[in-house]
Structures are given as C-alpha cells and as structure tokens.
Structure 1
C-alpha cells in the first residue's frame, strides 16, 4: 500500500475508534459502488450516520475539516441514499427512525505527539 493509502487507513481507524467511544456502532467501512465510497457507516441510537474521514499531516495545504465542499456534500447525500436503499431498507424495510446524518471526522497527524481527531456532526 502506498503512503497515502496507509495514511488514510490509519486515519479511518482512529475515526472509527472515536465514533465507538461516543457510543456509535460501526455498521460498515469503505463501502463502494460505481459512483463513490463511504468511509464509515455507523448507527447512533436510532440515527444512521454517514462519516467522511479526512486525514492530513500537520502543515498540509488544507485542514481536513475544510474538505467537505458543497459538491462533496451532494455526492455524500447521493451515496447515503444508495446505501440506505441497498443495505438498510433490504434488512429493516423502513428508514431509520432518527433519520440520516452526514458527519465529518478530521484527523491531523503532527510530526510529534498524539493525533488530533475532530468530529463534526451534521455537516451536509
């Protein structure tokens, strides 16, 4: 795996750990279809949570929390709808009672010290 792939996987592992610590159950990771990928799909009480994870090394061009542009947000909404119809509705037959929320987990890796993990709820 290349350095970028390893960086992304490490960030997603940290993000999944943080989400579990907040009481979420991870349903699936790295779900792919022809139109894109969802990094983490989780359930928080009765809400389905679609999580985009962005990992950056400290000092990189863009802070990870700035990564969800309007275009990316629309793509995440389309992917969420597709996952919901292909996975959730097949299993449960109805939408989640708490609805669907799109979150962003930003991970910054400093040159020294512990990673900084930020979780923003309802970004799109």
Structure 2
C-alpha cells in the first residue's frame, strides 16, 4: 500500500461502535488518517477519539451531508468508512468506500440493509 494513501473515518456509528478495531487499524495505517464527523463540538470529538485511542492527523467537522464528500476530495482520501449511505452518495468515483453495519442501517431480525429511495436501488 502506498504510504501516501489517506484513510477517512466517520466517528459516530463507526469508531464509536468498534473502537478497538479502529484503534488498531489507525495505528497500523501507513498513511494519513482523517476523521470526518457530523458534529458541532470539535473538542468533544477530539476527546472521544483520544479516549478510544484513535490515531488521527486531522479532525474535520461538517454540518451537512454532502460536505463529507467535499472534505474527502479536498484531503485526497482514497478509502472512506461511514455508516450512513447518505454520506457516501456524493463521494467521488475514485474513492473506495465501506459501509459500516450497525443497528441504524441494518435490520438484524430481517437480515436486510435499511436504505432510503435516495440511497438504494432494488435490482432483480
């Protein structure tokens, strides 16, 4: 993997759901780690990351869904992880994305992803 590769991570619903995994991943990642979060309190976000032992190079707060895609393009993120399909919708085509499963986006009883008409398309 290229050492210039930048990893982008969402905080709530991803890092908060599996902090040990994301701690190990960020500490072993050879490139930059950018946290992109839909929050208003930067100090609280940084405190939450430090409590979970997450290595990061920058923390960027956004206030609208499409802003994450803008930050991803601006910082040259090549792999991005989020739990909300709405946040992934406008990510540039050259960026690899991972949808992190949790109770907010997956119905465990029904064993199906929960998507809106804006983010999902049924194929038969």
Provide the TM-score with structure 1 as the length reference: 0.30
Q: Which has the higher strand share?
A: 1
Q: Which has the higher helix share?
A: 1
